[in-house]
Amino acid sequence: MPSLSEYATFFREFRTRFETTGSIAPSSRFLASAMIAPLRNRPADAPVRILEIGPGTGAVTDYLVQQLRPGDTFDLVELNQVFADLLRSKFEREKHFRAIASQATVHVLPLQDFEATQPYDFVISGLPLNNFPADLVDEIFDAYFRLLAPGGVLSYFEYMYVRSIRKRLGKRVDRERLARIDGTMTRYVNSHRIRRDWIFVNLPPAWVQHLRRDQSN
């Protein structure tokens, strides 16, 4: 469970940077567990490459690090310097983080600027996509699938019905922005989704979407 200081840090960043933080509290353990479900079902005979995007205070990362095996590679991309510093502190001080610290690297930059030497078998994203400009969401999904290996799995979450409600009740410019985001996400979901998890014990309740990049491209 996140510590009280992590909740305080998250809430402080939420108040000052809502557009990139997106939630009032870290993800629940139920949401975190659903986000890493594909990783738990990985083949046992080969190392994998894992990318976590927007880890925040590490609510999902806490579960991810316990799934790593020798030979795995774990990269984290976090735009918020406060969160990045907190994560680096975890890799220095906390038991499960220290155990795999040599396999992990925290990168502080926007996802669309991140370049990888090799693609990833698992991409796990906590980005608050509904808060972003529509063009940026297009760029982010392009980056997701650019960074995924053929056959790799992308897992991300979105809060239940939030986009639908805001499309109905928001100002016109926001409705138009969300309609474009909805079109982008629906296109990828319809083409690539392998599973959706419903997580009611979270603030707010959320869906976890799992998408697979085709083996052929």
pLDDT at res. 124? 98
DSSP 103: G
Ordered by where they begin, the domains of the chain are 4-212 (3.40.50.150)
pLDDT at res. 188? 97
List the structure tokens of 112. 């669309």
pLDDT in tens, 183-207: 999 999 999 999 999 999 988 899 9
Contact 106, 112 (CB under 8 A): no
Phi, psi of 26 (to 5 degrees): -60, 160
Residue 128, pLDDT > 60, answer yes
Residue 29, pLDDT > 70, answer yes
* Other CB atoms within 10 Å distance of the CB of residue 161: 11
Decide: residue 3, CB within 10 A, 0-12 exposed, 13-18 middle, 19+ buried. Answer: exposed
The rounded percent of the chain whose pLDDT value lies above 70 is 88
DSSP letter string over 125-150? E---GGGS-HHHHHHHHHHHHHHEEE
Please tell me which residue, 59 or 192, carries the higher pLDDT value. 192
The CA distance from 64 to 40, in Å, is 9
pLDDT at res. 217? 63
pLDDT at res. 18? 44
Residue 22, pLDDT > 50, answer no
- Average pLDDT of the residues of the chain: 88
Residue 11, pLDDT > 90, answer no
**pTM assigned to the model:** 0.87
Q: What count of residues does the chain have?
A: 217
Residue 91, pLDDT > 90, answer yes
List the structure tokens of 4. 């009280």
| Residue 73 C-alpha from the chain's centroid | 17
List the structure tokens of 167. 């499309």
